[in-house]
């Protein structure tokens, strides 16, 4: 089932807990994993797909949330946030677009998404990763293709948003030099490049166009998951290369800012891009399935696949380990999370059944496709082949 090598390493095992850094009680979701039930024949097909095909998550995280709500902010103010190497090893994922939770790193500021925050975060996480053998940092297409053979998970360093650039276009090169290979243009609020999800007006700025050009020249993947309508369309138009929507859903199924309109989805696909279906709590619900579960997530998949074609869809569950909703509440005012969910009202789900963490989300999405009799080639495309095609054309 494509389970990865795990060497029993836990984050910062080279340091002394309680002396070199503060130790928090952390959540452990691995005891709560949900498995979509299949018959024996389907189980064999799933096993073959996971073992032989590239499995790519366009957005997931090894991040672990503290068990107690009151610890979340202090924990994120610390440089030593933990990564669930065992959980990722059990995920069966070959490649993860991993932003190391840059949006909630607040070691030097109140609201995060700052230059110093990102540099500190990358340096500390890379130091931790260097002491284990379950995951590795990938910088090229060839790096990514080694993951399955070596029974490891390749992490493609990404950033949620380009706020860290401020007005310095050369910082794009610096980030590339530090390993960043995918970057979102905005988060929920506007920045110097364009308008975020919660902004009603505004498109890509002149500086934003310069950044797009620089990213194209460097070979850095562009992500518009958190851009508003105008900025999304502008980025697609001005980019010479295909653009990704790494983690979103269809606004036609659930009308909130967090979802993407048919126009944006179609424009992304027409440019050769891929849309990753999100499963973060209380995002990809539908009128038919207002209780968030893998069933509602996959309704978004089927809608978007029908709209743009199977060659332009993938999966970006956007999960991590621990209470996702508690983390959203802790950072709501800082990151405009509730505002990005405004529109249609839904009773808040505590978690998404079948997609609660990386150890289960991608596996269950593949299992769902097998259960619903998708062809093996269609599953292969959605599970990773589509986005690998885009990566191959962009990464130098």
pLDDT tens per residue, range 26-54: 987 665 567 878 999 999 999 999 999 99
Low-confidence ranges of the chain (pLDDT < 50): none
CA nearest neighbour of 351 among 376, 390, 319: 319
Cβ atoms < 10 Å from Cβ of 320: 24
User: What SS3 class is residue 310?
Assistant: helix
Residues with Cβ within 8 Å of residue 91, at least 6 apart in sequence: 4, 57, 60, 153, 358, 359, 360, 361, 362, 363
Give me the helix-helix angle, 294-308 and 262-270, nearest 10°: 60
Task: Name residue 353's beta-bridge partners.
Answer: 293
Q: Provide the pLDDT for residue 340.
A: 61
CA nearest neighbour of 306 among 367, 362, 262, 350: 262
Q: Provide the pLDDT for residue 335.
A: 64
User: What SS3 class is residue 189?
Assistant: coil
Q: Provide the pLDDT for residue 333.
A: 75
Place of tokens 């260097």: 130
Rounded Cα gap, residues 257 and 253, in angstroms: 12
Residues with Cβ within 8 Å of residue 278, at least 6 apart in sequence: 59, 225, 247, 248, 249, 258, 284, 297, 300, 316, 317, 318
Q: Provide the pLDDT for residue 339.
A: 66
Rounded Cα gap, residues 186 and 197, in angstroms: 8
Q: Provide the pLDDT for residue 252.
A: 97
What CATH class does 43-394 carry? alpha beta
Rounded Cα gap, residues 75 and 106, in angstroms: 9
Residues with Cβ within 8 Å of residue 6, at least 6 apart in sequence: 85, 86, 89, 90, 134
Please state the three-class secondary structure of 13-62 as a single string: CCCCECCCECCCCECCHHHHCCCCCCCHHHHHHHHHHHHHCCCEECCCCC
Q: Provide the pLDDT for residue 112.
A: 84
Angle at 291 between CA 286 and CA 296, to 5 degrees: 45
Rounded Cα gap, residues 314 and 56, in angstroms: 8
**The pTM is what?**
0.96
Q: Provide the pLDDT for residue 396.
A: 76
Q: Where are the domains of the chain?
A: 43-394
């Amino acid at each position: 089932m494509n389970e990865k090598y795990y060497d029993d390493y836990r984050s910062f095992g080279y340091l002394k807990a309680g002396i070199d850094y503060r130790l928090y009680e952390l959540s452990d979701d691995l005891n709560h994993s949900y498995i979509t039930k299949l018959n024996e024949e389907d189980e064999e097909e799933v096993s073959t797909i996971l073992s032989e095909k590239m499995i790519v998550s366009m957005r997931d995280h090894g991040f672990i949330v503290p068990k107690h709500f009151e610890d979340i902010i202090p924990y994120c103010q610390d440089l030593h946030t933990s990564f669930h190497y065992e959980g990722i090893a059990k995920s069966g994922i070959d490649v993860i677009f991993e932003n190391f939770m840059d949006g909630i790193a607040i070691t030097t500021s109140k609201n995060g998404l700052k230059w110093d925050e990102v540099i500190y975060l990358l340096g500390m996480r890379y130091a931790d990763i260097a002491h284990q053998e379950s995951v590795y940092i990938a910088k090229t297409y060839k790096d990514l293709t080694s993951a399955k053979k070596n029974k490891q998970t390749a992490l493609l360093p990404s950033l949620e948003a380009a706020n860290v650039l401020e007005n310095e276009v050369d910082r794009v090169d610096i980030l590339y030099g530090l390993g960043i290979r995918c970057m979102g243009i905005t988060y929920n609020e506007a920045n110097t490049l364009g308008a975020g999800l919660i902004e009603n007006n505004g498109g890509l700025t002149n500086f934003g166009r310069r950044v797009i050009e620089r990213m194209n020249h460097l070979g850095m993947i562009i992500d518009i998951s958190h851009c508003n309508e105008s900025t999304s369309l502008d980025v697609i138009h001005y980019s010479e290369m295909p653009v990704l929507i790494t983690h979103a859903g269809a606004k036609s199924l659930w009308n909130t800012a967090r979802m993407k309109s048919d126009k944006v989805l179609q424009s992304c696909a027409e440019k050769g891009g891929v849309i990753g279906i999100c499963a973060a709590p209380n995002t990809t619900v539908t009128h038919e399935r207002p209780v968030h579960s893998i069933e509602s997530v996959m309704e978004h998949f089927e809608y978007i696949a029908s709209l743009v074609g199977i060659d332009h869809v993938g999966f970006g569950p956007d999960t991590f380990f621990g209470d996702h909703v508690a983390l959203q509440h802790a950072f709501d005012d800082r990151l405009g999370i509730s505002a990005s969910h405004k529109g249609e009202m839904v009773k808040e789900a505590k978690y998404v059944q079948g997609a609660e963490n990386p150890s289960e989300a991608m596996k269950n999405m593949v299992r769902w496709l097998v259960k619903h009799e998708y062809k093996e080639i269609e599953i292969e495309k959605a599970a990773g082949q589509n986005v690998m095609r885009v990566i191959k054309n962009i990464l130098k």
